[in-house]
Structure 1
Amino acid sequence: MKTDETSFTEINRLLETYMTEIESSELKPLAANIYLTHAKNFVRWIEGEFVPGGRLKKTSEALS
């Protein structure tokens, strides 16, 4: 984890608030999904569960 537990708890609380705002916005479904996916991936990165471009690296390694 890239932060302490107290901060991570607050980040998750804020993520929930952000998700609620996105879902109640007038964004088109695809745009809303992009906003949510990137926010969730950022939180996963903080937790050490996500590597940006990780899937792309695995795919390119499989092609080698």
Structure 2
Amino acid sequence: MKMKDIRELGKDELVAKVRDLSEEHFKLKFQHGIRPLENTAKLRQLRKEIARMQTALTAHTA
């Protein structure tokens, strides 16, 4: 998701998306611990996406 699209989301939507992405990231990390993932870059993409949304969430609260 582009930063422009993220900024258009409301605070509640951002909180929900961060929660969902964090949960997905945890599950992928857990799976990767058990057996190697086919696409390990997905972990990095999720981390960056979560960071973008948290940055936008901080800007909404300020």
Identity of aligned residues (%): 9
- Residue aligning to 1:27: 36
- Of structures 1 and 2, the one scoring higher in RCO (CA 8 A, sep 6+) is 2
Question: Which segments of structure 1 move beyond 2 Å, counting only runs of 4 or more?
Answer: 39-43
Write 1 or 2 for the structure with the bigger share of helix: 2
- Residue aligning to 1:13: 19
Q: Which runs of 5+ in 2 are unaligned?
A: 1-6, 57-62
Shift of 1:37: 1.8
Alpha-carbon RMSD across the aligned residues, in angstroms, is 2.5
Shift of 1:16: 1.1
TM-score normalised by L of structure 2: 0.53
CA displacement 1:12-47 (0-9 Å, x = unmatched): 10011001110111334x71xx112222334427x3
SS at match of 1:24: helix
Point out the structure with max Rg over C-alpha. 1
**Contact 2:25–2:43 (CA under 8 A) maintained in structure 1:** yes
Aligned residue pairs total: 44
Distance 1:5 1:27 in 2: 35
TM-score normalised by L of structure 1: 0.52
